[in-house]
Amino acid sequence: MPNPKLTRACAALALSLVAGTALAAEKKLTIGVADALTGGGAVYGLPQANAVKMAAEEINAAGGIKVGADNYKLDVIAYDDKANPTEATNAVRKLIDRDGVKYILGFCCSGSTSAVASFIGNEKAVMLVGNAAERSITTKKIPNLVRTRPPADYTGQAAGTFIARKGQKRIAVLGALDVGFYAQYVDSVERELKKAGGEIIAREVFSLKDRDMTPQLTKIRGLNPDAILVVGYVEPAAFVYRQAVELGMKIPRYGFTSGSEEQFLRVTTSEQMEGVWDLRPTELTLLSASKNGVAYHANYTKKFNASPSPSSPYAYDQVYALKAAIEAAGTVDNTEAVAKALRNLPVPSQVVMQYQPVDGKMFDSNGQAYTSNGAFQWQKGQWVFVEDLPSDSKAYSQFLSTLN
C-alpha cells in the first residue's frame, strides 16, 4: 500500500515541474527585421534577414534566451524596406506600432537606416544595425542603437595605406559617390594616398541602377591611371570589372564591395575578375573564417541553398549580441536596460565576425563595433584573404566620439 503522504508530495512536485516547464517553454519574444529583401539592396539585405532567422532557430533549438526563470523562444517578423528611407520608416513603424516589436535588426543600407535612426531614439525599442556603413549612424549618440559593421571611412583609411604601399600614385575612382559612406571611404583613401605622394585623378559616378559603365570607363582609360578603385554595390561593381576588361584595361582594380563569389559570377566570369582586390572589413570568407565562420557558412549554405554573402554575419551576430544583452539585463521588457547591457557587452563567443573590442567591449560608447580590415583578392574563382590591413579601433573610436 503506497504511502498517501508520499504520493501527494510526488504529485505536487510533478505538477510544479510540469507547470514550471510549461511556463518557461511558452514564452515568446518577437524580434523584427527591416531590410532590403527586394531591389538593388537585396544582395545585402536578403542574406542578412536569412542570417537573423538562422540565428533565431539556433537559439531556439538550444533552449532560447534565459531571463530569470523564463526561457524565451524567438519569433522573427521580416519586412522589406527595399533600401528605401520611406519604406524603412513604414516597416519600422509597423513593427513597433502594430506588431509590438521592441528589438529591430537587419538594416543593410545606409539611406534607409539613417531614416530610421532619426526617430528610433524616441521609441522604446532597440535598433541593431548591420551592414549599413554611413558614419553618421553612430555619431548621433543614440542610446538605443548599436551597429555591428564598422563605418566606411575606418576601412577606407586602411585601404588607402594599402594602395599607396603598392606603389600606385594616380588612382581613378568609379563608384556610387552620391552615397555618403562610399564618398567617406574614398575621402579616407585620398588622405592616405596624398601622404604617400599619390592622388585621385578622377571621380566618376554610377547610380545603383546603372549597368552600362563603358562611358565612364572609356573616360578613365583616356586618363591613363595607375589603378582604378570601384566603390559601390556588388551588381554595378561587377559590371565595372567586366566592362573594364572588355575595354582592354589591364591596370590593377581595387574595390570596396563585399560581394560573394556567387554574386559576382552572376554578372562576370572568373577570368574577368582575376586579380581584383576587395579592401573591406574582414568579413566572412571561407579561407579566413574562424571556426564559427566555417560552421556559419556550412549551415547557411545547407539551409538556404546558397552561399552566404560576406557581410551577412553582421546580422547573425546582432542576434547573439541581443541574446547576451537580454540575459545580462535580465529583462525583455525594459529596452533601456537591454540597450545599456549592449554597450557593456563583451564579444559573445558565438559571433562570426572577428571583432576588435574597445576596452574589452563589443560596442564602444557610440554603440559602434569594429572588425579588422583585410585585403582580399580574386584568385581562380574565389576571394582569397591575402593580408590584414592595419586598423586602430580604439583611436578611431575616440575620433568617432568627437563627431556629432
| Closest distance of CB 236 from other proteins, Å | 10
Cβ nearer to other proteins, comparing 186 with 347: 186
Cβ nearer to other proteins, comparing 272 with 372: 272
Q: How many helices (H) and strands (E) does the chain have?
A: 14, 13
| Closest distance of CB 265 from other proteins, Å | 10
Cβ nearer to other proteins, comparing 40 with 111: 40
| Closest distance of CB 10 from other proteins, Å | 58
Q: Does 99 bind other proteins (CB under 8 A)?
A: no
- 265-284 positions binding other proteins, by CB under 8 A: 266-267, 269, 271-272
In this structure, are residues 37 and 45 in contact, taking their beta carbons and an 8 Å threshold? yes
Strands 103-106 and 126-129: parallel
Name the one residue in this structure whose C-alpha cell is 542578412.
48
DSSP state of 59: H
Q: Which of 130, 181, 173 is nearest to 152 (CA)?
A: 181
| Closest distance of CB 215 from other proteins, Å | 3
- 190-249 positions binding other proteins, by CB under 8 A: 204-206, 209, 211-212, 214-216, 218-219, 221-222, 235, 239, 245-248
Sketch the per residue contact string, 23 through 42, with other proteins: x for CB under 8 A, - otherwise.
--------------xxxx-x
DSSP state of 95: I
Name the amino acid, one letter, at 19: A
- 242-261 positions binding other proteins, by CB under 8 A: 245-248
66 φ, ψ (degrees, to nearest 5): -90, 120
Rg over alpha carbons for the chain, rounded to the nearest Å, is 23
The helix-helix angle for 152-165 and 180-195 (nearest 10°) equals: 30
Cβ nearer to other proteins, comparing 38 with 344: 38
The sheet carrying 70-80 orders its strands as: 65-67, 70-80, 28-35, 103-106, 126-129, 145-147
Q: Which of 352, 369, 351, 373 is nearest to 360 (CA)?
A: 369
Binding residues for other proteins, total number by CB under 8 A? 31
- 120-179 positions binding other proteins, by CB under 8 A: 177-178
| Closest distance of CB 283 from other proteins, Å | 21
Residues of this chain that bind other proteins (CB under 8 A)? 37-40, 42, 177-178, 204-206, 209, 211-212, 214-216, 218-219, 221-222, 235, 239, 245-248, 266-267, 269, 271-272
